Amino acid sequence: MSRVRTCVVTCIGVLVLAPLALARAEAPAPAESLARLKAGNATFVADPSEPLPVDAEKRAALAKGQSPFATVLSCADSRVPPEIIFHAGLGDLFVVRAAGHVADRSVLASLEYAAEHLHSPLIVVMGHEMCGAVKATMETPKGQSLGPNLDYLLKAIRPAVARAASQPESQRLRAAIMENVEETINNLLTSSPILKHMADEKQIGLVGGYYELASGRVLFSAMVDVPAPFSTASH
């Protein structure tokens, strides 16, 4: 399969969306889900102390089932909680977290479940500023072992780090983080026939994100099938 370019690397911010048909009447379109995420993030950026939309009535209703409007695969970093970043309530997001958002088989299974069984129409792969997993990969010489589990993690991130190696040193970590978002999106589509089929049929959309730690802002790529670049003009 040819590599999907999500334009996470060259620039970040403006989202151009192709028309996306609803695969299921009860589920929002990927563009609608993305708009909700962007609105929630705008609330968080403007006032991070704004209470999350959580109440006892909704908590009780969710005991009967869930229908998250978006799925977020993010790093496990303690500074990057998707529900808070997107000002989301109980049952709004299906969240999967792993260091460096590396997609092993349990991560793939979780995302497949959200897309196929919960009808979540959007998958966001969200990297973040100063990602420790990417930084460790950059700083650990190839061949040096940190133990079998960390070696597995770094091996998954190394292709992204290699593609960013030509960037100026001051920009290299940021570039590698964005490359790693793109790497993960491609891994989802090459490793999961279910997600690939659903993306091809426009039943789900996939988009990359980059979270800025200090500002709280999330910058988004275009959908994977739209060859439009990122820009820092907006989010």
DSSP, residue by residue, 59-95: HHHGGG----SEEEEE---TT--HHHHTT--TTTEEE
Distance, CA of 141 to CA of 95 (rounded, Å): 32
The pLDDT, as a whole number, for residue 5 is 59
Inter-residue contact 177 to 210 (CB < 8 Å):
yes
Q: Is residue 28 very low, low, confident or very high in pLDDT (cuts 50, 70, 90)? A: confident
Inter-residue contact 113 to 196 (CB < 8 Å):
no
Inter-residue contact 38 to 220 (CB < 8 Å):
yes
At 67 the three-state DSSP class reads coil
Condensed to tens digits (0 to 9), the pLDDT of residues 77-99 reads: 999 999 999 999 999 999 999 99
Residues of the chain above pLDDT 90, percent: 81
Predicted confidence (pLDDT) at residue 229 exceeds the cutoff of 90: no
Distance, CA of 54 to CA of 155 (rounded, Å): 39
Q: Token digits for 99? A: 């260091």
The pLDDT, as a whole number, for residue 1 is 46
When mean pLDDT is compared across 11-25, 26-40, 150-164, 195-209, the lowest value belongs to: 11-25
The pLDDT, as a whole number, for residue 230 is 38
Can you tell me which residue has the tokens 């496990």?
Answer: 76
Predicted confidence (pLDDT) at residue 4 exceeds the cutoff of 50: yes
Q: Which residues pair with 205 in a beta bridge?
A: 122
Q: Token digits for 43? A: 């609330």
The pLDDT, as a whole number, for residue 8 is 54
Predicted confidence (pLDDT) at residue 3 exceeds the cutoff of 70: no
86-114: average pLDDT: 98
pTM score, two decimals?
A: 0.86
Mean pLDDT over the full length of the chain: 88
Inter-residue contact 160 to 182 (CB < 8 Å):
yes
Condensed to tens digits (0 to 9), the pLDDT of residues 37-75 reads: 999 999 999 999 999 999 999 999 999 999 999 999 999
The pLDDT, as a whole number, for residue 149 is 96
Distance, CA of 137 to CA of 22 (rounded, Å): 39
The pLDDT, as a whole number, for residue 48 is 96
Q: Token digits for 193? A: 């026939």
Predicted confidence (pLDDT) at residue 118 exceeds the cutoff of 50: yes
